[in-house]
Chain A
Amino acid sequence: RKEVEQDPGPFNVPEGATVAFNCTYSNSASQSFFWYRQDCRKEPKLLMSVYSSGNEDGRFTAQLNRASQYISLLIRDSKLSDSATYLCVVDSWGKFQFGAGTQVVVTP
């Protein structure tokens, strides 16, 4: 079983709609959680960190559920520019494990 698992998608989302997806992790001792975004053939870039109480950054909302060991990302009012692969990242004492990514395609 992979340490970090994501639904690969693709999630096809009409512009302006809301999309949400999860990521599960296996190491209960994990400390930090992130969502990174990766555009095609580009390096990943930090989208947002995920805090225990949940957090928002504009149209993006991240949640952490430690009991069930998953994190989620919700994108509201989707823009065409949101089309990308979203990588779930879990940090366990400096060892960062990346999920394989969830592809989101926003269509006009």
Chain B
Amino acid sequence: GAGVSQSPSNKVTEKGKDVELRCDPISGHTALYWYRQSLGQGLEFLIYFQGNSAPDKSGLPSDRFSAERTGGSVSTLTIQRTQQEDSAVYLCASSPLLLATIYNEQFFGPGTRLTVL
């Protein structure tokens, strides 16, 4: 079946503009995660959704970042007033279930490469 998809694959924007990044998880996956990865760095956890709710938003770098998920499916990560330091690859992942006692594999999308000029 189809994997996690993200759009756009590449986004170049000017400093100060708003951007929206989209993630389509694997159908039926309850949990959805957003990460960002700067060049040569590890993954930085941003936020996760259990269904449509986000229990923990503490990973969002600033109040310019927000995310929502509707219908337990598609999620959008919005960055307002982009800054150059926002340039990174934004990765989305989904997993079938989020329970502390179960090992859930995360399936990653190909990412959106964001460049802020």
Q: A87-B42, A91-B100, A94-B55 are in contact. List 12 more A-B contacts (CB 8 A).
A: A32-B104, A43-B109, A43-B111, A44-B43, A45-B108, A91-B104, A94-B100, A96-B106, A98-B42, A98-B43, A98-B44, A99-B42
- CB-defined contacts of A12 to chain B, threshold 8 Å: none
**Partner of B48 from A46, A96, A98, A101 at Cβ < 8 Å:** A96
Q: Using a Cβ–Cβ cut-off of 8 Å, how many residues does chain B contribute to the interface with A? A: 25
How far, in Å, is A50 (CB) from chain B's closest CB? 9
Which of A91, A94, A97 contacts B50 (CB under 8 A)?
Answer: A94
State the interface size on chain A (CB cutoff 8 A).
21
Residues of B at the A interface (CB closer than 8 Å) are 31, 33, 35, 41-45, 48, 50, 55-56, 59, 91, 98, 100-101, 103-106, 108-111
**Chain A residues whose C-beta falls within 8 Å of the C-beta of B35 in the assembled complex:** 98
Closest to B110 in A: A43
